[in-house]
Amino acid sequence: MVRRLMLPLLLLVSTPALAQPPLQAVPDLDLARYAGTWHEIARLPMYFERKCVRDITATYTPRENGTIAVRNACVKADGKTMASEGEARLAGGNPAKLEVRFAPAWLSALPFVWADYWVIAIDADYQWAIVGEPGREYLWFLSREPALDAPTFEGLKSRARMLGYDLDELIVVVPPG
């Protein structure tokens, strides 16, 4: 009897997680316009950024071979700058779906060194972007400026929640407005 009651209960509890639609990247991204420097406004916890406290930037530079040079930099609590160099490549037919690696180039043939990097929302003027990945574990709010006004930031958070992100652990790097 208990087993008969448990199965419907388990289905009810797990249905919201299963009902969440797959995350989508923006349908079209102009990589030339996306190139350049972006400032991190907020993020979900990310192991590689655990020491970063301010002035967090990501700079994307297209290469002739079709890949993108990636340079991430930040200032740590001790005031020292930390930077890492990586590479991004297209992951399929949509330029908003990229894969990024920061492992040495000689490891690039190994699939596990590449991480999904999807632009899931972008301003029409390429002034802000939301970047995530299909599992919704990682999330970044990026801006061309070091800060966003409060209404824009709140709008980006609302959009991320509608896309299925839990923002309870959101780390705000630069306070909005």
How do residues 98-134 score in pLDDT, each as one tens digit?
999 999 989 989 988 999 999 999 999 999 999 999 9
Instruction: Report percent pLDDT > 70 for the chain.
Output: 87
Residue 136: the pLDDT is 97
Residues 155-162: what's their mean pLDDT?
Answer: 97
**Which residue did the predictor score with more confidence, 21 or 37?**
37
Segment 1-14 mean pLDDT: 43
Q: What is the DSSP letter of 47?
A: G
The whole-number pLDDT of residue 108 equals 87
> CA 56 to CA 58: how far, in whole Å?
7
State the average pLDDT over residues 83-109. 93
CA–centroid distance for 17 within its chain = 21
**pLDDT of amino acid 174:** 62
pLDDT band for position 20 (cuts 50, 70, 90) = confident
CATH domain 22-172 topology: Lipocalin (2.40.128)
* C-alpha distances out from residue 166 to 61, 97, 151, 169, 172, Å: 31, 21, 19, 8, 14
Task: Indicate the range of 4-13, 45-54, 129-138, 163-172 predicted with least confidence.
Answer: 4-13
* Triad 44, 82, 123: Cα angle to 5°: 45
User: What is the per-residue pLDDT for 111?
Assistant: 87
Domain boundaries, given as residue ranges, for the chain: 22-172
Confidence of residue 19 (pLDDT cuts 50, 70, 90): low
Task: Tell me if 71 sits within 8 A of 96, measured CB to CB.
Answer: no
pLDDT band at 175 (very low <50, low <70, confident <90, very high): low
At residue 14, the pLDDT reads 40
